[in-house]
Amino acid sequence: MERKIRILLAKPGLDGHDRGIKVIASAFRDAGFEVIYTGLRQTPEMIVEAAIQEDVDAIGMSILSGAHMTLFPRVLQLLREKGADHVLLLGGGIIPKEDVEKLEKMGVGKLFTPGTTTTEAIEYLKKAVSERRKEEKIL
């Protein structure tokens, strides 16, 4: 049997808005994923460390403070440095469209902005993780 999708949900930086991440955590759990929530005020280092220790398929970060152009690239960089770039990084928050495009080009998976349904996020995660797992098997 294929193992359940494991995702680390994290709130990086100083931002305290946690409505979105809690809603998404409940929806992911109801969808059968294994969800680990870090809580607030995590540094990129703490997040990457937890992702490796918990052996997750993906990290979901929620940022509503505007600090996304600092925090997403930093987590990507750390994942690469630690040889953990098989972990998919996705996220959501108050992120203008041009920043979404820039971050997705850098290698961040999908970024979900206000108005996204939890179903969209669930479907995306299932598809993206199963593709990544296939790639890993081929390699």
Partner 1 sequence: MLSQTTKKKIADQKEKWEKEKEKGKRLTDRKFISVSGESVKELYTPLDIEDFDYNRDLGFPGEYPYTRGIRKNMYRGRLWTMRQFSGMGTPRQTNQRYHFLLDRGQTGLSVAFDLPTLMGWDSDQPLSVGEVGICGVAIDSLEDMEILFDGISLDKISTSMTINAPASILLAMYIAVGEKQGVPSEKLTGTVQNDILKEYIAQKEWIFPPEPHMRLITDLIAFCTQHVPKWNTISISGYHIREAGSTAVQELAFTLADGFAYVEAAMKAGLDVDDFAPRLSHFFNSHLDFFEEVAKYRAARRIWARHMREKYKAKKPESWLLRFHTQTAGCSLTSQQPENNIVRTAYEALAAVMGGTQSLHTNSMDETYALPSEKAVQIALRTQQLIAHETGVANTIDPLAGSYYVEALTNKMEQEAEKYFDEIERRGGVLKCIEEGYFQREIAEAAYRYQKQVENKERIVVGINDFILEDEKVEIPILKIDPEVEKEQVRNLKKVREKRDNDKVKRSLENLKKVVQGKENTMPALLECVRCYTTEGEICDVLREVFGEYTEPPLI
Which parts of this chain interact with partner 1 (CB under 8 A)?
A: 13-19, 22-23, 25-27, 29, 35, 37-41, 43, 65-67, 69-71, 94, 96-97, 113-115, 117-119
Based on CB atoms, which residue is closest to partner 1, 43 or 133?
A: 43
* Closer Cβ to partner 1, 66 or 133, answer by number: 66
Give the chain's radius of gyration (CA, Å): 14
Least Cβ distance, residue 28 to partner 1 (angstroms): 10
Identify which of residues 63 and 129 has a Cβ nearer to partner 1 in the complex: 63
Distance CA 58, CA 111 (A): 13
- Closest separation between CB of residue 111 and partner 1, Å? 12
Q: If you ran DSSP here, which 8-state letter would residue 101 be given?
A: H
Q: Is the Cβ of residue 20 or residue 109 nearer to partner 1 in the bound state?
A: 20
Residue 110 C-beta: closest distance to partner 1, Å: 15
Q: How far is the CB of 88 from partner 1 (least distance, A)?
A: 20
